[in-house]
Structure 1
Amino acid sequence: MQRLIPVLNSDHVPLHLISVINTLLTAAKEISHRLHQGSLAGTLGSTLDENIQGETQKKLDIVSNQLIKNMLLETNLVHAVASEEEDDVVMGNPDAKYLVAFDPLDGSSNIDINGSVGTIFTILEKPDHAAEGKELFLQTGDEQIAAGYILYGPSTMLVMTTGKGVRAYTLDHTVGEFLLTVEKLEIPKTTQEFAINMSNQRFWAEPMKHYIADLLSGSEGPRAKNFNMRWNAAMVSDVHRVLTRSGIFMYPADCKNSDKPCKLRLLYEANPMSFLVEQAGGRSSTGYERIMSLQPTDIHQRVSVIMGSKEEVDECLGYYKKIPCTRFDSP
């Protein structure tokens, strides 16, 4: 099996970019080790603090964030980093050209139940004329040069794209390297699986309510086929399922909290996952717009997310075209 770096070399990925990716993976190996130690590592449980998102931080959220941030900045190849756990961007080498944004531990509520979690990352280049600080990261998803995630499950996997398709690698603990295990991930165009948090159903806009109702009506309904629901409560593992066996993943806007109608962050969750999904032949949308075409206004901006098998996403978007949107869900 091929190691990661020779694969990237064969794709003519610049050496400095390979070094940044390799640094992310070095941090991921340490996070994987601590996760697999569980209670033995003394890092399970929550802190008394909240992050910028207003979410209670897990101990491993903080540890993972510090590991990734510190290791990236120590390379001198990174101009700035942005993280879900940081209020603002953290500046690095003023002469470096790479920007890295990441969710250090997606799905961290699963940690204490020994469920799957992951690290999501995206890499951009420093714009020529942007001011320093947050403005550096206010780029569309189309400007990503690499993106991926590390899934910490029964095995630790890397799924990544540099714009030339999507490959999957598995961490071989005997050699401490990520080895190529899937040369080309492609999402089937059709599916009979969907992933959504059904507990929010009463808060959704009408298009999503009608779409899910038709899925649940099965072979007797307008779709004339039965669907299964899957939900891991971690975007990284739910999207991994879509990438490996088809499906549609949705986290739509809702009216449960009028100040935060959307859950997922554009910069370091929706955009990198959309890059992967599109590179694997799928589709990704807010319901009204292609996610990677959105112009960000803030590094912690939230968006509605619908992504997965192309034909099923198109079916879902059809409901948004024919059913009027409500105030909180308007584009």
Structure 2
Amino acid sequence: MAVPHVPLAPTLIGDLAAHGRCSGPAAAAADVVARLAAASAELARKIATRTTEPCVLEPWARALYRDAVTGADVAAVGMAGEAAPVPVTRGGSVVVTLVAVDEPANLGMDAPVGTIFSVLPVTDAVGGGLLQPGRRHLAAGIILFGPATVLALTFGHGTDGYVLGPAGFTSTRRGLQLPPESAVYAINAANARHWHRGIRSYVADLVSGSSGPRQRDFSMRWFASLAAETYAILSRGGIYLYPAESRAPYGHGRMRLVYEANPVAQLCEQAGGAATDGHTPILDLVPGALHQRTPLVFGSRTKVERVHRYLAGAPARHEDSPLFSHRGLFRS
């Protein structure tokens, strides 16, 4: 399908040149981002007009993005929903990871959906570059389709914000920085019975609010879209948790390391935040498989570090003893 050209922002190439990176794979990464941005504008129109059912939109979007990078300096695209990498250009210098539509079911209730992507250099490693640590990203970003179509993007020198208008994507916020303190956390509380002890203790302390050990009240939200949660945290701070669970299918987490956790972690770290699997920074993990899953905790650095302490430390006595629990004999 044809993809019309939509500029990312007039300053993009200038920004790259200022960092001395506008050559080879770096130039290929800039070209990929511009192509994905153009395709996302077409996807935004499709979503706004509601001409495609959610179950059909995701494969349509995959085809749209695949066509957008055809002819680019891209060796292959690893896409969620595809069993194996999709070859693009023999001898290409970069590879692309892509979630075409994050949580398409949200469209059924007019809630946000998004695209998550990253660009990495081709290597001799297994997978041609798709299975390498996220710290080697050349670019990473999310495109969120909501009341406005917005883009959060990093080339490894900070995270910037853009919004789609009639003339294309234009810059709105430079050098995003996560607020260090926020009273908001994002977690799927329906899975609470499957969380491990450290996460249960952490969330219990948040829920107890000003009467608990944190001595302040917190608010919880859950968009069910990683792209939407990421943009919210980049805008307002806070923390997102999708931890490992005691259930066998999710013992190693639910988020896909290559497609989801790595790009989000890159955006978050470049905005002054942190991202971890609960113990190790996400960007230091070496993927062993294209669809590998991982726990994911990201957001303001102090909050992520606090979760790490909860997971690493032994629980206090009252956390395990029914006598000292919130509804125990020695608590009203």
For residues 174-185 of structure 1, the aligned pairs below 5 Å read 174-175=166-167, 177-185=168-176
Please point out which of 10, 26, 37 is paired with 2:15. 10
Q: For 1:135 and 1:11, how far apart are their aligned partners in 2?
A: 25
| Matched AA of 2:152 | V
Please point out which of 62, 79, 89 is paired with 2:85. 89
For residues 24-63 of structure 1, the aligned pairs below 5 Å read 24-38=36-50, 41=51, 43-45=52-54, 58-63=55-60
Give the C-alpha shift of residue 4 in structure 1: 1.7
The equivalent residue for 2:284 is: 293
The secondary structure found in structure 2 opposite 1:151 is strand
Alpha-carbon distance change, 3 to 126 in structure 1, aligned in 2, over 3 angstroms: closer
Q: For 2:248 and 2:66, how far apart are their aligned partners in 1?
A: 31
Q: For 2:28 and 2:245, how far apart are their aligned partners in 1?
A: 42
Q: Sequence identity of aligned pairs in percent?
A: 32
Q: Residue by residue, what CA displacement relative to the aligned partner does 1:13-62 show, whole Å, maximum 9, x if unpaired?
A: 52433221111111111111100011xx1x114xxxxxxxxxxxx21110
The equivalent residue for 2:194 is: 203
2:32–2:72: 8 Å Cα contact kept in structure 1?
no
Query: Please, what TM-score do these two structures have when normalized by structure 2?
Result: 0.87
Aligned CA-pair RMSD: 1.6
The equivalent residue for 1:169 is: 162
Give the C-alpha shift of residue 183 in structure 1: 1.3
1:277–1:284: 8 Å Cα contact kept in structure 2?
yes
Give the C-alpha shift of residue 98 in structure 1: 1.0
Q: For 1:258 and 1:307, how far apart are their aligned partners in 2?
A: 22
Q: Residue by residue, what CA displacement relative to the aligned partner does 1:117-143 show, whole Å, maximum 9, x if unpaired?
A: 00000000101x235xx3531100111
Structure number with greater Rg is 2
Please point out which of 147, 150, 157 is paired with 1:154. 147
- Are 2:261 and 1:270 equivalent residues in the alignment? yes
The equivalent residue for 2:213 is: 222
The secondary structure found in structure 1 opposite 2:232 is helix
Q: For 2:236 and 2:281, how far apart are their aligned partners in 1?
A: 22
Q: For 1:64 and 1:85, how far apart are their aligned partners in 2?
A: 11
Query: Please, what TM-score do these two structures have when normalized by structure 1?
Result: 0.88
The equivalent residue for 2:137 is: 144
Q: For 1:260 and 1:217, how far apart are their aligned partners in 2?
A: 27
Q: For 1:86 and 1:167, how far apart are their aligned partners in 2?
A: 29
The secondary structure found in structure 1 opposite 2:191 is helix
Give the C-alpha shift of residue 190 in structure 1: 1.8
Number of residues of Structure 1 aligned to a counterpart in Structure 2: 302
For residues 97-116 of structure 1, the aligned pairs below 5 Å read 97-116=93-112
The equivalent residue for 1:54 is: none
Please point out which of 163, 167, 183 is paired with 1:192. 183
The secondary structure found in structure 2 opposite 1:237 is helix
2:134–2:263: 8 Å Cα contact kept in structure 1?
yes
Q: For 1:323 and 1:140, how far apart are their aligned partners in 2?
A: 30
Alpha-carbon distance change, 102 to 3 in structure 1, aligned in 2, over 3 angstroms: closer
